[in-house]
Chain A
Amino acid sequence: MNTLLIVDDVRALADQFAYDLRRLMSAEAIVATDGDAALEILAREPVDFERL
C-alpha cells in the first residue's frame, strides 16, 4: 500500500484530500499543515507521493 503525504495550510482541505485518498484509493495518507511539519514527516516516514 502506497503512503501519500498531503501538505496544505488549510487543515480541513488536507483532511478532505487524505480521507478521499484513503477511501477511494485505499492508500495511506499523512497530513501536514506547514513546511516544517512536512519535512519532519518525510524524515521519519517513507512516503511514495507528495501533494503540496
Chain B
Amino acid sequence: MTFRARMSVAFMIAALVPLAVLAHGVRREVTQRLTAQHQRRVNTLVDIVRQDLGRESASIAARLEILEADLSTDDRFRLGAVRGDVAHRRYVLDWAERAMEIAGLSMLRVYDESGRVVSSGHFRNEFGRDDARLLSRLAAAPAGQALVRVKLPSASFLALTRTESVTVGGRSFTLVGGTTVDSTFFTRLGRDGELDVSLALGEVTVPASHAVERLPLVYVDDTSSNLATTQLTIAPRGGELETLRQDLDRWVAGSFVLAAIAGVILVVWLAAGLSRPMATLARAALSIDFTTPEMDTVAARDDEVGTLARRFAAMTRRLRAGAVRLRDAERRATVGEMARQVNHDMKNGLVPIRNVVRHLSQVQQTSPHELATVFGERRGTLESSVTYLDELATRWARLTPRGDRLAVDVNSIVQDVVTATRDAYATPIHVQLQPDLPPVLGDPLALRRVLDNLVTNALQSLTGDSGSVTISSQSRDRAVRVTVTDTGSGMTPEQVDRALRGFYTTKPQGTGLGLSVVRRLVADHGGEVHIDTTPRRGTTVLIELPAHSAPTHRSKAMHS
C-alpha cells in the first residue's frame, strides 16, 4: 500500500468517523431540544385552547341560565306548555327559535320530563319527538358538556352543548343549547392560524416525536347508544417542527459532506507534499546523487523532509570526499608499489652490469692480457642487461595515461577494439551492444587501453581452437556497463587478487600489470571493476562507469 493510500485510510478512520459521530450527535441533540421546545409551546397553547373551550362552555351555560330565568316566569309559555292552552301553543313552538336568536346560540331545544321535544329552535315539527335517550346521555356527560351532532333536513352540524333545568308551572323542563363547532370555531381556537386544531373521532395515534396534543371531549350521536370520545388534535400549523428538522438534516449532511471533501483534499495535498519529496529522496539515494535541481527544491523545505534531504546531501558529500581520499590513497599505494617494482626491475638489470664491470676491472688489474677474452665472455651479459632495461622502459612508457576528459561513446570504442583484435586472433568475438548507450566522461585513450587489455586477456586465456569471447554493453541506474566474457582458463581467487595488485602474469611477454592498470584507469573514471571467474571455465570482467549527459564524443572523431 502506498504512503498516500495509508494516509487516506488513516484520515478516514481518524477524522471522518469522529466527524460522522459528531454530526449524528449534534443532529440528535438539536432535534430533541427542538421537539421539547415545541412540545412546551404546544402544551401552553393547549392550555389556552382548553381555557377557551371552558369559556365557550361557560358562556353557553350563562346564556341558558338567562333563558331559564326568563322561561320560568313566562306566563304564555306556562299556559301553552303546562295548561295545554291551544291559543298559546304557537308561542311555545316558536319560543326556542326566538330565544336561540336572542341568546346567540346555534341550537336550542326545550324538553319535558319524559324527554319529548316541546320547542325546537330549528323545526316546529320536532314537537313531541322522543329524545329521552339523548337527554340521558347528556346528563351523564361531565359538567353536562358534550358535542352533539344536530341534524337538519339538508345537512347536519356539530354543536358544543350544555343543559339547564327549568321549572314552569310546577313542571320540569330541560333546556339544551349550544354553539356551532365548525372550521370558524377551530380557527378561533387556533389562535389566528398559529395552531392547527382538528376534530377526530376515536383514538388517534400520533408519533411521539411530533409536538401534538390531544384534548378529549364527549361526543353524542343519535345513532349511538353510548357516549363516545372525540378529541381535539392540536399541533403547530404547517409542520413547522418537521420543516426545522428537515432544514437541520440538510445543514448537518451538507456540513459533513463539505468537511469530508475538504478533508480528502487536505489529506491528498499533505500526502503528495510528503510522498513526492520522499520519492525524490529515494531516487537520489538510488543514484547516490543529492545534487540535482529536484533535490535542491526538496532540501529547501523547512520541514523534516527538508532536514532529511540536507542530511542525506551532507552525508553524500562526506562519502564522496572519503571516496576521493580513498582513491588518492589507493593511487598513492599503487604508485608506491610501482616504484618499488621499478626499483627491483632496474636493479635486476643493473646488478649484472655492475658485477661485469667489477670483474673486468679486477681482470684489468690482475691479468690485463686476459681482458679482451673476459670481455668477450661477459659481453652477452652486458647486452642482455641493456636489452632488459630497454624493454622495461618501453613497458613503463605504455602505462602512462593521458588526462583528456571527453564525453565518450563506449560502444564506438568497443567496436574499434574488436576490429583491431579480430585480425590478430582466429577466435570468434561476439558483440552485443545496447543502442543509444549514454556517453561516459573520460579519457578515450585510457578507455581504449582498458578494453584492449580486457579483450586481449580474454583472447589469450583461451586454450586451443575452441572457446569464444563475448563483449556486451548496457546502461543501468545511470551507469554504463561493459562486460567481457571468455570461456578460457579462468583464475583462482588468489590469482585474481595477485593480478589486481599488479606485477603478476602467466604470459611470457606480459608486464603483469594488465588488470591492475584496468582497475586503476576505471577507478580514475569513477568506476568499478568486478571479476567473476572459475578455473578452467572462464572469466567475466564487468566494468561499470558513471554515465554522462553531455553530447557524445565519437571514437572515430577522436582518432582523426
Contacts and interface: CB of A to CB of B under 8 A. Distances in A.
B508 A12 contact: no
Given A20-B355, A34-B508, A12 B377 contact: no
Given A10-B349, A34-B508, A15 B377 contact: no
B351 A16 contact: yes
Contacts of A52: none
B384 interface: yes
Given A20-B355, A34-B508, A12 B385 contact: yes
A42 interface: no
Interface in B381-424: 381-382, 384-385, 388
Interface in A7-52: 10-13, 15-16, 19-20, 34
Nearest to B348: A10
Contacts of A20: 355
Interface residues of A, number: 9
A21 B381 CA distance: 14
B380 interface: yes
B352 interface: yes
B317 interface: no
28 contacts: A10-B348, A10-B349, A10-B352, A10-B388, A11-B384, A11-B388, A12-B348, A12-B349, A12-B352, A12-B353, A12-B381, A12-B382, A12-B384, A12-B388, A15-B352, A15-B380, A15-B381, A15-B384, A16-B351, A16-B352, A16-B355, A16-B356, A16-B381, A19-B377, A19-B378, A19-B381, A20-B355, A34-B508
Interface of B: 348-349, 351-353, 355-356, 377-378, 380-382, 384-385, 388, 508
B489 to A, nearest CB: 15
A52 B38 CA distance: 119
Nearest to B354: A16
Given A15-B380, A15-B384, A19-B378, 5 more contacts: A10-B349, A12-B352, A16-B355, A16-B381, A19-B381
Nearest to A10: B348
A11 B387 CA distance: 10
Contacts, number: 32
A13 B356 contact: no
The binding surface of chain A is classed by DSSP as helix
A25 to B, nearest CB: 15
B173 to A, nearest CB: 160
A12 B353 CA distance: 8
A23 to B, nearest CB: 8
Contacts of A34: 508
A12 B356 CA distance: 10
A15 B377 CA distance: 11
B380 A13 contact: no
Nearest to A16: B352
Contacts of B356: 16
Nearest to A36: B508
Contacts of A11: 384, 388
Contacts of A10: 348-349, 352, 388
